Amino acid sequence: MKPIYIALALVSASLPAYAQEKSGENWGKNLITFTHRLPQVQALKERLSAANYDRTAKSALLYNPTASFDVVNEDTTNFQVGINQTLDLFGKRQMRREFGTAQAKLAKQSFEVAYQDYLADVLVGLSEYEAARLQLVLAEKHASNLQALADLTKKRLENGDLGNADGTLATLALSSAYPTIAEERTKSIEAQARLKTLLGSSFADFTTLPNQVIWRDSGSIDTDILLAESPRVREAYERYQVARAAIGIAKKNRKADPTVGVVAGRDGGAALVGVNVSVPLNISKSFKASEQATSRRSLAAEMDYRQIQQAIGAELEGTLLAWRENTRQLDLYDNLTGAAPEEGLKLLKARWEMGDMSTAEFLLALDRWRESVAAGIKLRALQRRSLVTWLRTSGQVKDWLGRH
């Protein structure tokens, strides 16, 4: 048996320890519940709440009445009491109410986009952390195998079974394993730091990912419906609606609201009753330029909406295709390695000890074993990341977690 084929036998035995751990039930639901207590998600909620208060504020009366009181002491005491009220003759309050409603809808969609992105980042972080941890365990396992080889080689050198070249090969192979351990440990530490940034100090409660079955759940794949319901598309649409509502406010602002007042009092001993009306004259400041600027911003928002709609449509097709291809490659890998015998490592060691395999061949087989297992870890992480990318693009991250 050639070393490269024997090395494949080790993959099946190694995967249960490295890449097939199971998590508890309701992992996704528990993760969603946990994230709602985190400061970054609380901040998103507060911004949404603020937008709802802004909507209430914009629905209030536009003008408050004003009161005046004048007293003049001459031969007789003269005084006047007046009440003035600016009238909303052109429906500015209604336009502000519609603008506030549009802003609240936009805030809701922006919350959904931000929260879905956050959950997707968490899933990517968890997957990267697991992959980095498994790669570190693999590197340490490989170094352990090489250390055992070096020890046995030393004994066989003493017995005269091997030459000095075999001892040198074993030592060189072992020394080359330490930089790999250092590199993988660094990646694991960095992945843990990113995850801690996302989930806080309790991140370890969610690092045992569910079994691989759920990573084949793509959710809905009807791209037409998903495009229409995409949080990013809906957010762009609501931003366009806000821009349109702003045009109505700009048009109303070009019309001046009159102020009507009633005055009562006493002047020179005689009763005084009067009415006054004032109307601002928009001469030096007509607000025309503001209306034109608002109109242009609305056109820009419409173009942004159409561009985002087109981009998301293309991304839906691409990310779904990428996930399917990565899943297919993972299936090929699992089918190939799953049929290998589980005693591959022991078989390699036994053949080397009997002299049926040279030290160089044994070292090559160990390297192929490490590379094959590492490839499986990398491919599994890639498949999961592509699924998260699809879920993020299609706006299904939260629903997907809720099912698991």
Q: Which amino acid is at 326?
A: N
Task: Quickly count: other Cβ atoms within 10 Å of residue 34's Cβ.
Answer: 17
Q: Which two tokens stand for residue 188?
A: 């694991």
State how far the Cα of 397 lies from the Cα of 110, in Å rounded to an integer: 15
**DSSP bridge pairs for 267:** 270
Q: What pLDDT score does 175 carry?
A: 87
Domain interval for residue 201: 3-63+93-229+303-391
CA distance 118 to 48: 16
CB 352 within 8 A of CB 359: yes
In a domain, 339, yes or no: yes
Residue 99: which residues within 8 A CB-CB, separation 6 or more?
Answer: 58, 242, 245, 246, 248, 249
Which amino acid, one-letter code, is at 15? L
pLDDT for position 366: 84
How does DSSP classify residue 202? G
Q: How far apart are CA 189 and CA 86, in angstroms?
A: 65
Determine contact, residues 369/7, Cβ cutoff 8 Å.
yes
- Provide the CATH number for the domain around residue 29: 1.20.1600.10
pLDDT, residue 12, reads 38
Give exposure, 278-313, as e/b (b: 16+ Cβ within 10 Å): eeeeeeeeebeebbeebbebbeebbeebeebbeebb
The answer to whether residue 207 is domain-embedded is yes
Number of H helices, E strands in the chain: 11, 4
> Into how many domains does the chain fold?
1
* Series of mean pLDDT values for 10-residue runs along the chain (404 residues): 38 38 72 95 95 90 88 77 90 91 95 97 96 94 86 78 79 88 95 94 87 82 92 96 93 89 84 87 74 93 97 96 94 78 64 78 84 91 96 95 89
Using DSSP's 3-state secondary structure scheme, residue 238 falls into helix
In contact, 367 and 2? CB cutoff 8 Å: no
Q: Which helix H or strand E contains 70, and what residues bound it?
A: strand 66-73
The secondary structure of residue 210, as a DSSP letter, is P
In a domain, 234, yes or no: no
Please state, in angstroms and rounded to a whole number, the distance separating the CA atoms of residues 379 and 215: 13
Confirm whether 365 is domain-assigned: yes
Average pLDDT, the chain: 86
Q: What beta strand segments (E) does 77-153 contain? A: 77-86
Q: Is 397 exposed, middle or buried (0-12, 13-18, 19+ CB in 10 A)?
A: buried
375: which residues sit within 8 A by CB, 6+ positions away?
333
Q: Write out pLDDT tens, residues 70-112.
A: 887 766 778 889 999 999 888 889 999 999 999 999 999 999 9
Note whether residue 114 is domain-resident: yes
For 242-284, give the DSSP string.
HHHHHHHHHHHHTSPPPEEEEEEEEETTEEEEEEEEE----SS
Query: 397 Cβ partners below 8 Å, 6+ apart?
Result: 116, 119, 120, 123, 388, 391
If you search the block for the tokens 């087989």, which residue do you land on? Answer: 365
Q: Which residue has the tokens 């293309």?
A: 314
Residue 121 covered by a domain: yes
**Using CA atoms, how far apart are residues 251 and 287, in angstroms rounded to an integer?**
8
Residue 147 lies in a domain: yes
Q: Give domain status of residue 13, yes or no.
A: yes
